[in-house]
Amino acid sequence: MKIAALAATVVLLTMAARPLIAAGDDAEAFGQFQEILRGIDDRSFESIQKAIDKTDMRNRVLSAGQIEADAAQVFDGNFWQFVEAEFTANLPPPGSKSRAKLVDFAFKDGKGKAAIRFTKPNFEYVFQVFDLQHDGRGRLRVIDWFDSGSGQMVSAEIAEELMILMPTKAATRKTLSIQNPTDLELFQVTEIYKASRDRQPPRFFDIYDQFSDPLQREPFIAKYAVFMAFLMKDSDRLARALEIFVDVYSDKPGFALSVSDFYVAIGAYEQSYELLKTFHQNFAVKEGALPAKLSALALAIGKPEDAEMFAVEATEDEPSLELGWWSMLRARSSAENYAGAIEALTQLEDNFGQRLDEAKLRRDKFRGFANLVVTDEYKTWRANRP
């Protein structure tokens, strides 16, 4: 049986997706990013701070929006505090067992990207995708990065924060798309920005409920309504805010992953599934966690064929991810593809240390396993296992 296990391990390795460093990539840059990655894994901002070109990042932030001079001055005086807050905002907390998983790295001709994934509780994921380049001395620099928790580049997120940091009427007017807002509307929006900034949901909705539909659909307000409703743990408000947000931000798929998780929080699995598909289709990184989650959601909404399709994708793109094989096992058991389920069972036992006897599978909450364990396919497989 040791020979069989060894053979299965070889199969797993030969199934692996393209090498992390493809031909033509820069191995030295990869080594330099490992230093940054260790700091990220330790939730240490120092490694990121050393790699960021402060002047370049400042210019990106201040050119990303119409920011008042007073707010820009505050930013200049507290630059690293702003950047560090964005770095840590959507990561698992210090002390978490979740480690940073490097899922993509490509670097050529002095420029490239690196993508990392964190696994959070409740089947949630955070991705950070770093834009990288070498400076004139060959040192690896972080130019900017996309954070899936905020749904946009860090420079853009900081710019938005600065736009509401000191929300005067003049500053507020610049954030609105409606023409000729009244003094009352400007005052109300200014106050709602303050409530958002200070995380005061009751105050936020006292004002928000007085708004006309066009004001509720203003991009900043639509976004803050989602987060304020989530902080209040008000599922009815959250459902309504999400409906508006998804419509307003339909052309920005970067937000779709975090919004998909909000839909899960209120049990709206169909909407969550559709948004996660949108994010997945636009995410230029091949890895296994997103398709594995799509497989689970597809099962939850009664789409077993989609569930198997995404489970296969998960195992092909990241065969070393145990979650992908569990997704395949559930999807194929649900579809009564028991011969196919045996493949997942074998992988889970041989490569991930599982012992999937009848008693364990029956204890699982997934009902499809009760049907699996009485099949001839499973009984024959189990009889030939150690």
Same domain, 155 and 184: no
Same domain, 222 and 156: no
- Among 113, 140, 160, identify where a domain stops: 160
Q: Is residue 4 in a domain?
A: no
Give residue 3's pLDDT band: very low, low, confident or very high (50, 70, 90). Answer: very low
**Total number of domains constituting the chain:** 2
Same domain, 246 and 183: yes
Same domain, 106 and 255: no
Q: Is the dihedral of CA 19, 25, 30, 36 positive or negative?
A: negative
Q: Are 325 and 352 in contact (CB under 8 A)?
A: yes
Same domain, 263 and 297: yes
pLDDT at position 222 is: 97
Q: Is residue 8 in a domain?
A: no
Average pLDDT over residues 283-305: 96
Q: Are 180 and 188 in contact (CB under 8 A)?
A: no
Q: Is residue 120 in a domain?
A: yes
Q: Are 347 and 12 in contact (CB under 8 A)?
A: yes
Range of the domain at 339: 166-383
CA distance 364 to 352: 17
Same domain, 150 and 68: yes
Same domain, 332 and 232: yes
Instruction: Give tens-digit pLDDT for 51-65.
Output: 999 999 999 999 876
CA distance 311 to 330: 9
pLDDT at position 24 is: 52
- Among 131, 160, 189, identify where a domain stops: 160
pLDDT at position 20 is: 54
pLDDT at position 13 is: 28
The residues pairing with 124 across neighbouring beta strands, listed in sequence order, are 120
Same domain, 118 and 246: no
Q: Is residue 72 in a domain?
A: yes
Segment among 3-7, 153-157, 198-202 with least mean pLDDT: 3-7
Q: Is residue 2 in a domain?
A: no
* CB-based contacts of 170-174 (< 8 A; 24+ apart in sequence): 170/68, 171/68, 171/71, 174/65, 174/66
Is the pTM value of this prediction over 0.75? yes
Same domain, 116 and 205: no
Instruction: Give tens-digit pLDDT for 170-208.
Output: 889 888 999 889 999 999 999 999 999 999 999 999 999
The CATH number linked to 289 is: 1.25.40.10
pLDDT at position 44 is: 84
Average pLDDT over residues 213-240: 96
Give residue 97's pLDDT band: very low, low, confident or very high (50, 70, 90). Answer: confident
The CATH number linked to 78 is: 3.10.450
Sequence-distant (≥ 6) Cβ neighbours of residue 257 within 8 angstroms: 125, 127, 148, 151, 275, 276, 279, 283, 290
* Residue of 309, 359, 360 lying closest to 335 (CA atoms): 309
Encoding tokens for residue 39?
């700091």
> Is the pLDDT confidence value at 10 over 60?
no
pLDDT at position 313 is: 98
Q: Is residue 261 in a domain?
A: yes
Segment among 21-25, 132-136, 291-295, 338-342 with least mean pLDDT: 21-25
Same domain, 270 and 246: yes
- Among 128, 160, 192, identify where a domain stops: 160
pLDDT at position 39 is: 87
Of 2-6, 276-280, 364-368, which has the strongest mean pLDDT? 276-280
Same domain, 145 and 240: no
Same domain, 354 and 241: yes
Q: Is residue 10 in a domain?
A: no
Q: Is residue 231 in a domain?
A: yes
